[in-house]
Structure 1
Amino acid sequence: MKRKFAIKPKDYYKILEVDYDATDDAIRSNYIRLALKWHPDKQKDEDSATSRFQEINEAYQVLSDPAKRIEYDKKGMLYVYDYNLIEYLNRYKGLILTCNGLGMRHSIW
């Protein structure tokens, strides 16, 4: 069973350089403009361009889908990614234990 957990804030509207009340056409046209600008084949620094291009694509995948956009708008910039519970706990086990005071081996006081 998959559960959703917020992991990092992203402002997809800012990434696509559109207003929060942007129309589908505005989102699409800005996506095309930015995708052409940041395509790795058109940039000298391919690693940086690839990262930016992937971020633009991710933002467009969310904002161009009405259901995903509604979910994103409800949750704000803390958009969610799918993790099953075991993956989440394994990834953040140390942080969770430390926050609960269970993982501390030495007292800092």
Structure 2
Amino acid sequence: KDHYKVLELNCDASDDEIRSSFIRLALKWHPDKFKEEDSATSRFQEINEAYQVLSDPIARQEYDKKRMRRIYEHNTELLNEYKELILTCNGLGVKHYLW
């Protein structure tokens, strides 16, 4: 789960923005407002979990490192998957038309 998305924040959000978003979403999804719905309880738990991580500077730093590593690994996989196509297009002089 992306804690920033859960709290509807950008990854460069300030501490005040994190706290403000948490309060707004916690009030919106509090289980007492949705007594019959389990989805509200699970959403509320996600919001709490995201806030616990992002409000703690050390936990947030670790989370951000892992998040960036996942993004880098995903991008590397995509590049490797299309490497042959990229190299072929560059070798044929197609790069002027594609890029």
Other structure's SS at 2:9 match: coil
1:17 equivalent in structure 2: 8
2:82 equivalent in structure 1: none
2:21 equivalent in structure 1: 30
1:71 equivalent in structure 2: 62
**Number of equivalences:** 70
Segment drifting more, 37-46 vs 14-23: 37-46
- Determine which structure has the larger helix proportion and give its number: 2
Which residue type is aligned with residue 15 of structure 1? V
Q: Which has the higher contact order (CA 8 A, sep 6+)?
A: 1
Identify the match of residue 38 of structure 2 among 47, 51, 76. Answer: 47
2:47 maps to 1:59: no
- What TM-score do you get using the length of structure 2 for normalisation? 0.66
Offset of residue 43 of structure 1: 1.8
Structure 2: any 5+ residue segments left out of the alignment? 71-99
Q: Is the 8 A contact 1:11 1:77 kept in 2?
A: no
Q: Distance in 2 between matches of 1:39 and 1:56?
A: 10
Q: Which has the larger radius of gyration?
A: 2
Moved >6 Å (runs of 4+): none
- What TM-score do you get using the length of structure 1 for normalisation? 0.60
Other structure's SS at 1:51 match: helix
CA root-mean-square deviation: 1.9
Q: Percent identity?
A: 76
Which residue type is aligned with residue 33 of structure 2? K
Structure 1: any 5+ residue segments left out of the alignment? 1-9, 80-109
Offset of residue 44 of structure 1: 5.0
Distance of aligned partners of 1:77 and 1:32 in 2 relative to their CA distance in 1, 3 Å threshold: farther
Offset of residue 45 of structure 1: 4.0
